[in-house]
Every structure is written in C-alpha cells, then in structure tokens.
Amino acid sequence: MEKTASRSSYIVEQVLGNLGRLRILGVLAQRGFPSYTRYGLEKATRLKPASVRRHLEVLVDLALVKEIDVKPAVYRIDDQKPIVKALIIFMRETAYSI
C-alpha cells in the first residue's frame, strides 16, 4: 500500500509542479475528453513544440495520457485511472483554465 501512495505522490508532484503539464492535462480534461495532436496541444496551450513533446513524454510515461498510434499521433487523457479522475475533479472544482 505504501508503494501505491508513494507512486501517487510522485505523480501529483510531477503534474502539479509543472505548469506545462498542468496546461496539457487541463486541455485534455475538458468535458468530453477530446483527443489532440501535438500541434493541437501547442495551439491550445500556447506552449512551444519542444515543450509539448517533452511534457507529453512524461505524461505518457506516468500513464496519465494515452498516445493513440495513428498518423499523426493523437493524445487523450486516461480518465479511467483514479488519480486522473481526482485531477479532473480538482481542475473542475477550482475552475482551472489555461
């Protein structure tokens, strides 16, 4: 159980401690859970391409975001994970917007 709590704490720190990741999750957590290409996320978050690429790598590694293998790749929040559900609730209840 401690290992799970430790992993969850690590994930929260990685997300909440980084504005770029928080922006990307905020966009992906919009109602209906839209899918975006990297280019779409660049436009929606106003982040530079290299930043979006780097942040998506981390979010996919943390299993918060799914990369759908089509051309071009599409990204979608993994809304089935309890920690993602909690982050979505947090964003909605605090009216977080980018």
| Region label for 33, one of left (φ > 0), alpha (ψ between -120 and 50) or beta (otherwise) | left
pLDDT the model gives residue 1? 41
Residue 77 near residue 64, CB atoms below 8 Å = yes
The pTM of the full predicted model, rounded to 2 decimals, is 0.84
What is the maximal distance between C-alpha atoms in the chain? Answer: 40
Is the pLDDT assigned to residue 31 strictly greater than 70? Answer: yes
Cis bond leading into 49, ω under 30°? no
Q: Provide mean pLDDT across the span 36-43.
A: 96
Task: Give the other-Cβ count within 10 Å of 24's Cβ.
Answer: 30
Domain ranges of the chain: 2-93
Mean pLDDT of all residues in 84-94: 87
What is the dihedral angle through the alpha carbons of 81, 70, 37, 7, rounded to the nearest 10 degrees? Answer: 30
- Residue 98 is predicted with a pLDDT of 57
Q: Mention the CATH class of domain 2-93.
A: mainly alpha
pLDDT surpasses 60 at 94:
yes
Average pLDDT over residues 60-83: 93
